[in-house]
Amino acid sequence: MRLKKTVWIFAFLISTLSGVLISYAAEIRIEKVLLSPQSATIWGTAYVTVEEDGKDPYFELTLPPQTKPDTLSLKVEQPSGLIVTDLSYELLEKRDEENLKLLAEKIKDLEKEIDLLQAEADINSRLIDTWLGWAQKADSSGNFIAVMEETGKRVKELQASRIRTIHDVELKKRELKRLKETYENLAGSVNRSWRFKCRVSSKSNYSLKPGTQLRVAYSFLFSDAGWKAVYLINGEPARDRLTLTWLAEVWQKSGIDWRDVDLMLATTEPVFNLEPPELPPWNIRPLELPPRSAGSFKLMAVPEKTELPAEAGIKHEKKSGFAVYHVGKRTVRAGTGERIMIENFSWDTDFKYLLRPYVSPWSFIRGKVSLKESVTLPGGNGLYFLDGVFVKSAPFSFHGLEKVFYFGPDRLVTGDLVLKKRETGKEGLIKEKKTYSWEWQFIIRNNHEYPVDLVLEERKPIATDERITVKIEEMTESPQSDPGNPNVWVWNINMPPHHEKILKFAVTVLTPEDMSVDPGW
């Protein structure tokens, strides 16, 4: 029973610590939210009661402290013909005296319970000592055995009761510590809220009396909310598929859940500079350079622009300078880091195993997606998976029709570059030349249970002087040129399961006898 009472007390405290927000939730209904990366614009309906202070009739509205007060916009919808003629606001600050009193009473009651339990444990200890004292005084007469049996029984019962009581005391002391910490935090905190006083008048002869109920449409900017893009990217090379789940990690700290709101996501923050900045004067004058010390200049990072995809099921609306994406009806819970699934994609993917044996014996998995319709996925955090196993976390964005994804090394598809022969010498009768000759082997292995498409890359020997000649003496298979890098040879190889392949190539470099060269190997 005491535990249930304590749980109720904490639940009550949690709800009332944000009493402003709860009263705000009772007064107004949130209907639509536009989340920007670091703020939210909120639309809804408020039901208010007209009051009077000897001047024009007015109503009051209480909003949370994260509200930007100068952004509040109001329109009386019912009764018709009423307008808001004046708006003033003030920031209210007060301690939660009611809950402080409730906590103080609970602390006092709990201290009394601890004292009673401690007294009970002390009594049990003294009774145990008493019984043990009687047992020591008992003689060896006929009732000795009965006295010892009774003593053992009583001491066992008292010891068990004492242990239970001490355990309860420890639990109560922990509970008391938590309550005192809560009291100290509450005593040192101040509840803040914005109170708006809104004067209204009638455009007709409508008589507006105190107590009249009004329905008012509102909107305002809320500073303690935002979103960021998160992607779950899973590559499946054996199926030539890539699945991508786009999530919006949304957060808001209003203290209440925004239930079933029409949620929209904006790519940028609202702009409050309505007019362009003035041009500074162009003054030409002698330059005076002040003494400069290390660290006197700083570079500032430019924040990345965030955009959202226009995919099926997500309505995309372009504004001047930013984009808005209509997600639909959602519940945005109070707190941080809740993820809302926006869209799933499943794409045919051309997976290749990229081998560069000169720098690594392992292949690296590369998947290329080619789409028929362009997509624009915002900059965010990508969580990469390979066949459902987490691989890495890295920044991600996708704009256009094609995208290359990398999933790290695959140790079952390998390639070794083995130097079989290396020679230096001379050739020529009249003009002798130095010669450098190499012979290599690529030993490629696929240890998977399925075939793989492999891309083997190797440096192409490039003569950087017209007096140097490069000859390809042997090449098992002719390579292709990489359009993006003409200094690289490329072999496209299909490797069956559990297969090994050997490629050979030999190169000779000729230089003038009197030239010192770096052969590059």
Average pLDDT of the residues of the chain: 81
- CA-to-CA separations, 169 to 115, 120, 184, in angstroms, rounded: 9, 10, 22
- Give percent above pLDDT 90 in the chain: 35
pLDDT for 187 equals: 74
Q: Over 90: is that where the pLDDT of 307 sits?
A: no
Average pLDDT over residues 83-94: 87
**pLDDT value, residue 337:** 73
Give residue 376's Cα distance to chain centre: 20
Mean pLDDT (whole number) for 124-137: 81
What kind of fold does domain 2-31+42-95+191-223 have according to CATH? Answer: Elongation Factor Tu (Ef-tu); domain 3 (2.40.30)
CA distance 120 to 129: 14
59 closest CA partner among 34, 94, 28: 28
Pseudo-torsion of CA 383, 389, 391, 397, nearest 10°? -30
Query: Around Cβ 6, how many Cβ atoms within 10 Å?
Result: 16
Residues in the chain: 521
Q: For Cα atoms 470, 473, 478, give the angle at the middle one, nearest 5 degrees.
A: 95
Is the torsion defined by CA of 375, 379, 381, 386 positive or negative?
A: positive
- Mean per-residue pLDDT for 497-519? 87
pLDDT of residue 267: 72
**pLDDT (0 to 100) of residue 20:** 33
pLDDT at 436: 86
Per DSSP, the residues of 1-16 read -HHHHHHHHHHHHHHH
Residue 391 has pLDDT above 50, yes or no: yes
Decide: 57 and 97 in contact? Cβ < 8 Å: no
| Per-residue pLDDT band at 159 (split at 50, 70, 90) | confident
Average pLDDT (336-351) is 88
The three-state secondary structure class of 411 is: strand
pLDDT of residue 222 exceeding 80, the answer is yes
| Distance between CA atoms of residues 108 and 93, nearest Å | 28
Phi-psi label, residue 328: left if phi above 0, alpha if psi -120 to 50, beta otherwise: left
Spatial CA neighbour of 455 closest among 348, 349, 368, 366: 366
With tokens 């808005």, the residue in question is: 324
How would DSSP label each residue in 331-362? EE-SEEEEEEEEEEEEEEEEEEEEE-TTT-SE
Average pLDDT of span 493-512: 92
Mean pLDDT in residue range 223-252: 93
The pair phi, psi for residue 281, each rounded to 5°, is: -70, 150
pTM: 0.59
Residue 313 pLDDT > 70: no
Q: Which residues on neighbouring strands pair with residue 262, listed in sequence order? A: 32, 329
152/141: higher pLDDT: 152
Per-residue pLDDT at 10: 34
Compute φ and ψ for 19, nearest 5 degrees: -60, -35
Q: How many CB atoms lie within 10 A of CB 461?
A: 19
**Burial group, residue 419, by CB count within 10 angstroms (0-12, 13-18, 19+):** exposed
Write the CB contacts of 512 (distance below 8 Å, at least 6 apart in sequence). 431, 433, 434, 467
When pLDDT is averaged across residues 488-504 and rounded to a whole number, the result is 93
Which tokens hold the place of 315? 């309505």
Give residue-wise pLDDT tens across range 250-304: 999 887 889 999 998 887 766 555 566 676 676 666 655 444 433 333 333 333 3
pLDDT at 354 over 90: yes
| Residue 207 per-residue DSSP state | -
Most confidently modeled range among 177-191, 298-312, 344-358: 344-358
* pLDDT beyond 50 at 373: yes
pLDDT tens, residue by residue, 407-438: 999 999 999 999 888 888 776 555 678 888 88
CATH number for the domain formed by residue range(s) 411-512:
2.60.40
In this structure, what are the phi and psi dihedrals at residue 44, rounded to the nearest 5 degrees? 180, -165
pLDDT of residue 377: 84
If one counts every other C-beta atom within 10 angstroms of the C-beta of residue 467, the result is 11
| Among the ranges given (35-39, 86-90, 217-221, 376-380), the one the predictor scored with the smallest mean pLDDT | 376-380
Q: Is the N-terminal amide bond of 361 cis, ω within 30° of 0?
A: no
Tens of pLDDT, residue by residue over 12-70, are 333 333 333 333 433 678 999 999 888 999 999 999 998 887 667 889 998 988 999 99
pLDDT at position 382 over 50? yes
Lowest mean pLDDT among 5-14, 25-34, 148-157, 341-350: 5-14
